[in-house]
Amino acid sequence: MNSLVVARNVTKRFGDFRAVDNVSFEIEKGRITGLIGPNGAGKTTLLKAILGLTDCEGELSVLGLDPFRQRKELMRNICFIADVAVLPRWIRVSQLLDFVEEVHPGFTRKRSEELLAETKIKRSAKVRELSKGMVTQLHLSIIAAIDATLLVLDEPTLGLDIIFRKEFYANLLNDYFDKERTILVTTHQVEEIEHLLTDIMFINDGRLVLNTTIDLLPERYAELQASGDKADRARQLGPIYERELFGKRIMTFEGVSRDRLQGLGEVRTPAIADLFVAKVKGAAA
Amino acid sequence: MINVQLALLKREVLEHRAIYVMPIVLGLIVCLSYITGQVTVSAFDQAVDMAILGATNLGDKERAAALSVGLVATSSFFVFPMLIFSVFYMLDSLYAERKDKSILFWRSLPVTDTETVLSKLMTALVVVPLVTFVVIVLTHLCVLVISSVWVGLRGADAWHLIWRAAPLFDTWAVTLIVLVALPLWLSPFAGWFLFVSAFTKRSPLLVAFLPIVVLPLLEKIFFRSSLFAEAIFERSARMPIFGDLDTAKLVLRDSEEMHAIAESGIRLLSLVDVGRFLAAPALWLGLAVCGLFIAAAIYVRRYRDETWI
């Protein structure tokens, strides 16, 4: 079994509102998948369903388990960081390590201590005495020392400055990630993790609007910068989205070969953020 | 499972240090008041001083009784603050973790909601009373040491006057039985407080006590009865463990009755009727009510979906 997460027609309703609407996807082992969507798109609800924190309709299997009904077994093999502020503020670093060691069979304390030794975090410090960035480092040093198969990150670097954000993702790759492990991450700052991702899923209004590997992006999507007549000709090829930048027309194409666009202007692969806007706004237009 | 439970209990003690700090402070207050009391009394009249402390002019039986009263009074000094603390602890325990969102971290570990909620209940019903008991025992020993030093300094035989006379094991056994039985007897309240702590969105104290005040009033107005109020009062006041002894009076430290018991020279342990306590349907009914509230608290922590939006 290579698919760690299998979702078939997953729906989560709150009354008449569908926070997640008939979503199907698979996440394979060893991938880093970015789940990208605007606020209120259903990202967090979907993550909660995957983590067994909320029930849902449809078929959802995580590591071969029903996440909602087999949550304890699931939590042995899943880690998640929901937000930087969730570590209890009253606890001391050493007490936190003690506790995780006592309740988590997959936690290697030595590994965590090694990672902490690279930071300025003192074992005797209380979480409330640490800066936001340090709390994230602490959390990551615990997560990285847990032998878990799937790591779920929901806006893990929210509110951190750029140095900590960069460091966080560098550490994540160096200390945590290997071919046996899989990461599912949501973030607003998609540009910062673009180079890490192997897969992306776009979610909007509870629906998946894109689910692809990064490798396939250049084949399927192209962004053309054109002006004047050429822009008019390009428009006939049916761009999914068009915008203007410094007097030039920028068009995003889906499934149009680059050969056909080549003579019309500068062609490149769209950045994920731009592609996201194109998919969401293009669909709305 | 047991290791996880122990880790959870340890976490509760670390988070709520008042579990041991508060009884220690009370113990220090008791010791300090013994010292100041003795100094003050002896400053006025040495004869009175010796009568109170060494009790040289009392017979063995009376001296044992006097010491017994002193030790029981010391024990009971801890009980009311312990109960008040437990109420605040329980109201806070499932509320604070939601408020500061640390629930998300706790729930990211392989620990079930049942284990977590049970650890909070265990802390309130078992850990807090046992810690209190240990501190009571230490306080008793400190008080006797202080008295012994005082008596010794005046040339009397502290071993004979105090240590041989003091019914320590009798007092400790009764204290322990009461500290184990009382939380079980009051468990329906414990269940209610934890349930409130799990579901309320604000001010758990108000939400917990408002129904206890308002429901009896409504019952009185609409049904002209007071069953609910009586049930609550009965449970708060009368624990069926002291045989025929009125515990309400004992809590209020009815000195006459305490003296009567003490002077008759009977052992405190013989006043306690554990069998009757365990046979009381009200005990098991109370535990069942507690179980229902705890199940509800677990359900709410497990299924409600309000944090992390």
Coil, strand or helix at A181: coil
Place of tokens 């009896």: B216
Question: CA of B133: how far to CAs of B7, B174, B176, B179, B269, in Å?
Answer: 21, 11, 6, 7, 16
Predicted pLDDT of residue B213: 85
Tokens of B17: 């240090």
Q: Which of A180-189, B33-42, B73-82 has the lowest mean pLDDT?
A: B33-42
Predicted pLDDT of residue B56: 61
Q: Does A158 touch chain B (CB under 8 A)?
A: no
Dist. CA B163–CA B230, nearest whole Å: 44
Residues 6+ apart with CB under 8 A from A201: A25, A33, A34, A35, A36, A208, A210, A211
Q: Does B36 touch chain A (CB under 8 A)?
A: no
Are the beta carbons of A82 and B111 separated by less than 8 Å?
A: no
Dist. CA A126–CA A175, nearest whole Å: 24
First to last CA, chain A: 40
Please report the residues numbered 85 through 124 in chain B whose beta carbons come closer than 8 angstroms to any beta carbon of chain A: 97, 100-112
Q: Does B6 touch chain A (CB under 8 A)?
A: yes
Tokens of A204: 């909007």
CA distance B294 to chain A (A): 19
The band of B308, judged by pLDDT with boundaries at 50, 70 and 90, is very low
Q: What is the pLDDT of residues B1-44, one digit of tens each?
A: 788 999 999 999 999 999 999 999 999 999 999 888 877 776 66
Q: Do the Cβ atoms of A49 and A23 come closer than 8 Å? A: no
Chain A residues with CB under 8 Å of B16 CB are: none
Are the beta carbons of B105 and A95 separated by less than 8 Å?
A: no
Chain A residues with CB under 8 Å of B105 CB are: 86-88, 139
Dist. CA A71–CA A58, nearest whole Å: 17
Q: What is the mean pLDDT of chain B?
A: 84
Predicted pLDDT of residue B197: 95
Classify burial at B10, counting beta carbons within 10 Å of its beta carbon; exposed 0-12, middle 13-18, buried 19 or more: middle
CA distance B271 to chain A (A): 43
Question: CA of B126: how far to CAs of A210, B2, B122, in Å?
Answer: 54, 15, 5
The conformation of residue B213, written as its DSSP 8-state character, comes to: H
The answer to whether residue B245 scores a pLDDT higher than 70 is no
The band of B266, judged by pLDDT with boundaries at 50, 70 and 90, is low
Q: Do the Cβ atoms of B94 and B117 come closer than 8 Å? A: yes
The band of B136, judged by pLDDT with boundaries at 50, 70 and 90, is very high
Q: ipTM beyond 0.90?
A: no
Are the beta carbons of B110 and A82 separated by less than 8 Å?
A: no
Coil, strand or helix at B225: coil
Chain B residues with CB under 8 Å of A51 CB are: 108
The conformation of residue A65, written as its DSSP 8-state character, comes to: B
Single pTM value for the model: 0.85
Classify burial at B177, counting beta carbons within 10 Å of its beta carbon; exposed 0-12, middle 13-18, buried 19 or more: middle
Q: What is the pLDDT of residues B160-173, one digit of tens each?
A: 888 888 888 889 99
Are the beta carbons of A80 and B108 separated by less than 8 Å?
A: yes
Dist. CA A138–CA A167, nearest whole Å: 13
Dist. CA A28–CA A144, nearest whole Å: 20
Q: How many CB atoms neighbour CB A263 within 10 A? A: 11
Are the beta carbons of B102 and A80 separated by less than 8 Å?
A: no
Predicted pLDDT of residue B267: 72
Tokens of A231: 């822009």
Question: CA of B91: how far to CAs of A89, B11, B95, B126, in Å?
Answer: 19, 17, 7, 17
Nearest residue of chain A to residue B16 (CA atoms): A90
Residue B295 identity: A
Q: Does A82 touch chain B (CB under 8 A)?
A: yes
Q: Does B252 touch chain A (CB under 8 A)?
A: no
The band of B151, judged by pLDDT with boundaries at 50, 70 and 90, is confident
Nearest to B11 by CA among B142, B77, B109, B85: B109
Count the helices and strands in chain A (H runs, E runs): 11, 13
Q: Does A277 touch chain B (CB under 8 A)?
A: no
Cβ pairs bridging A and B (under 8 Å) = 77
The CATH class of the A3-205 domain is: alpha beta
Q: Which of A98-102, B141-145, B251-255 has the lowest mean pLDDT?
A: B251-255
Nearest to B234 by CA among B272, B188, B278, B291: B188
Predicted pLDDT of residue B96: 92
CA distance B309 to chain A (A): 7
Chain B residues with CB under 8 Å of A41 CB are: none
Strands (E), A110-169: 150-154
CA distance A282 to chain B (A): 27
CA distance B221 to chain A (A): 38
CA distance B304 to chain A (A): 8
Dist. CA A133–CA A87, nearest whole Å: 12
Dist. CA A275–CA A210, nearest whole Å: 10
The answer to whether residue B116 scores a pLDDT higher than 90 is yes
Classify burial at A175, counting beta carbons within 10 Å of its beta carbon; exposed 0-12, middle 13-18, buried 19 or more: middle
